[in-house]
Amino acid sequence: MKDTSYEFLKGLLSIPGPSGYETAAAKAWRMEAEKFAGVRGDRMGNSFATLNEGGSPRVMLAGHIDEIGLMVTHVEDSGILRFSGVGGWDPQVLVGQRVLLQTKNGQVRGVIGKKAIHVMEADERKKVSEIKSLWIDIGAKDGDEAKEKVRVGDVAVIDQDVVELPNGRIASRALDNRMGAFVVLEALRLLSEEDGLAPEVVAVANVQEEIGLYGVRGAAFGLDPDAAIAVDVTHATDTPGIPKNEHGDHALGSGPVITRAVNLSPVVTEGLIATAEAEDISYTLEADSRSTSTDADAIQFTRAGIATGLVSVPNRYMHSPNEIVDLEDLTNCARLIAAYTRSLTKDTDFIR
């Protein structure tokens, strides 16, 4: 990965952007995209970067830019904040975390509190934590002071910077799926560096995936592409306790994961597989006998149907404050998508 791309990725990961509150992250993505593509946004908050406008076929590359987070639901008289999850959390990973609250007056730091083990009853110690039993402490002396800083409805993210690990790996919050928004833009960047591109290619940093695949529906409806590739994370299965017979064999560093699913286009999927082999890009296959639980599901049934494929990156510890990916997998994911898209012509037939 180029140093400039890596610095952009790290910056993008550092920006808070829970579902529905992605504006700052979207702004950073658009600023980067403006260096080599035509850029616009929409009323939902989706971001679009276009190459070769008017070309054929029109191809959509989608990666959601939102992350899971927290939302303040109540301010107690003591100054303690109650909250709910924005997206799916395992509450066990929240206990003791530092958070960054996004307020109208800027960021407010806090910590997630829980009754200490020393003052728990014996039966309490055996129970797993639930979000309703946790709270955020911002150090306020009472409710009035807390309300001067924070309002009900303010959102928060875990306060975790990118950690560089050996072997080209990083740990960070928001890799699901700020990474996907990064990959589709990197694929577009690669395409911008070559002449003779036939299709119109639109990279999309879509919003509100973690709460229901909402943003990409509007983006796909408005674009009405002939084909689309969604980019997301999938579970790395090289850690203890994950059965490969259920989830496949996807280790960090094993390359892009191409999904074969009953609701995805075999035309696009087989094209991605053939491209990976032609370009000597290592990959693994993932099978879904129903839906994929990604933006690909929403894209493929938009309008009269869009020929959709799904490419993922192996990710350890998904939906936690410290997800881990291999940077080489991101690079190869972008290479694969760019190479496949580059191979398309106005005569490419997606009808099946």
Cα separation, 191 vs 21, whole angstroms: 30
Arithmetic mean of pLDDT, 288-294: 93
Arithmetic mean of pLDDT, 286-290: 93
232 known member of a binding site: yes
User: What topology is assigned to 69-158 in CATH?
Assistant: Elongation Factor Tu (Ef-tu); domain 3 (2.40.30)
**Single-letter residue type at 75:** V
82 - beta bridge partners? 74
Looking at every residue in the chain, the average pLDDT score rounds to 95
CA distances in angstroms from 349 to 115, 164, 227, 266, 274, listed in the order given: 60, 43, 10, 12, 16
Please name the residues in contact with 212: beta carbons below 8 A apart, sequence gap of 6 or more: none
* 163 has a pLDDT exceeding 90: yes
pLDDT at 276: 98
User: What topology is assigned to 3-67+173-342 in CATH?
Assistant: Aminopeptidase (3.40.630)
Q: Catalytic site residues?
A: 209
Portions of the chain given CATH number 3.40.630.10: 3-67+173-342
Arithmetic mean of pLDDT, 158-186: 97
What 3-state DSSP class applies to 265?
A: coil
64 known member of a binding site: yes
Arithmetic mean of pLDDT, 171-175: 97
Cα separation, 333 vs 327, whole angstroms: 10
* 317 has a pLDDT exceeding 90: yes
Portions of the chain given CATH number 2.40.30.40: 69-158
Arithmetic mean of pLDDT, 308-326: 97
Q: Please give the sequence-ordered ranges of beta strands (E in DSSP) within the chain, or none if there are none.
A: 38-41, 47-51, 58-64, 69-75, 81-86, 98-103, 106-113, 135-137, 155-158, 163-165, 169-172, 200-206, 227-235, 257-261, 284-288, 307-315, 323-326
pLDDT at 125: 73
74 known member of a binding site: no
